[in-house]
Structure 1
């Protein structure tokens, strides 16, 4: 259910010039992709680094990554570096050849990019880019060229290459600067209540909570609106334009 009427804009509010998007669970479902990628990687380890698969499980490798994440600020913004560090530690602990890790990372990256965008993504983005500047801001490392969506966006910022991650306001401000708009002229669309809704609003952008999975917002978090799909977002954006 949308929430279009809950937070009406002032007639004097700045018009929306840019729409920025989160990626995972906003433009495509990510959990099935990650589960498959983890399984394929573990099967690869069983064939090419059996000592690792015999001494670790998918869960124990994940738990070790979570522990490593607390040891280096880089790992908070670069999940690929975190995965490589976890594999390196596991390989070293059982005497496996670490030169194999590049192949393991390549396999995981290929599987990680085998996403299927929601059915509304391509048609709605194609229409929106006729009226707004579009960009993406993500903490993940999805390659939009590989996925086939890069042509919709004038700007795409990933935390691992930018050096800062959501909720830091500078990553939102950088996207706005690259699009030559002020934060108050931009809308951020994402599924995470804290990293997307709260962070975007604190950075001065309007926020849209995309709720594709019938979730419930935590108390006290108030987006400018919430939508269950991009068709509802498109309707809301045109309503905002009509109010200016």
Structure 2
């Protein structure tokens, strides 16, 4: 393979272990729920909330502010245990959001790794899906702006009425335009097989590198990831093996 000019990164569970931040938030929410609502099982409340959240994490019509929407989901979860307390639901959602952002930090070593790749002349950008406000708060929490000049949020692209989230090629091609490279001169790194790997390949990028943190998911037949890594920190050595890394100054 030929040396590349740019690397695009997914955010959640690629540069930041969002799953770990979620676990910390759920633990604190469960404890708070049992304090606010005696007799309620905090663990069960969390278990009832999670599928509601995954099914509809924000108002699909955009008519309800995201924190209020998620507070409603806590009320729905409470109802499974015969309780209804709007004020408690709002406090639980605030606890979830604030705790998650408190733990939302780059994987240790990411900043040095990205700076090293930039020092080799590679342009970098973040391409992340999700609600525009939620994702911007995450980017602020990990101080991504100190490391990345270009950060595309799928929810923002959709909100303007003419953009798209991953896996649509438009968002990958927009990132190419921002950093000044052709699609075949860029690689994308992410954990989602559909949004990141298939999206990058369908967009004509030089390669897609899959982060399979626990090694539990097989790579589906037909998806040709350039490399499969357990951590984004393995990226520089993978690029070297693939002969995609430009010659770096000594």
Counterpart mapping for 1:153-164 below 5 A: 153-163=148-158, 164=164
5+ residue gaps, structure 1, are 1-8
Note if contact 2:29-2:92 (Cα within 8 Å) is conserved in structure 1: yes
5+ residue gaps, structure 2, are 159-163
- Return the alpha-carbon distance in structure 2 between the equivalents of residues 52 and 103 of structure 1: 15
Counterpart mapping for 1:42-121 below 5 A: 42-48=30-36, 57-68=45-56, 72=60, 83-87=70-74, 89=76, 94-97=83-86, 102-113=90-101, 114-121=103-110
Counterpart mapping for 1:1-244 below 5 A: 9=1, 15-48=3-36, 57-68=45-56, 72=60, 83-87=70-74, 89=76, 94-97=83-86, 102-113=90-101, 114-130=103-119, 131-140=121-130, 141=135, 143-163=138-158, 164-205=164-205, 206-215=207-216, 216-238=218-240, 239-241=243-245
How many correspondences in the alignment?
Answer: 227
Note if contact 2:75-2:86 (Cα within 8 Å) is conserved in structure 1: no
TM, length-normalised to structure 1: 0.74
Residues 172 and 101 of structure 1: CA distance in aligned 2, closer, same or farther (over 3 Å): farther
- Secondary structure of the corresponding residue to residue 28 of structure 1: coil
Give 1:152 shift.
Answer: 1.3
Q: CA RMSD in A?
A: 3.5
- Secondary structure of the corresponding residue to residue 172 of structure 1: helix
Note if contact 1:51-1:94 (Cα within 8 Å) is conserved in structure 2: no
TM, length-normalised to structure 2: 0.73
Note if contact 1:210-1:227 (Cα within 8 Å) is conserved in structure 2: yes
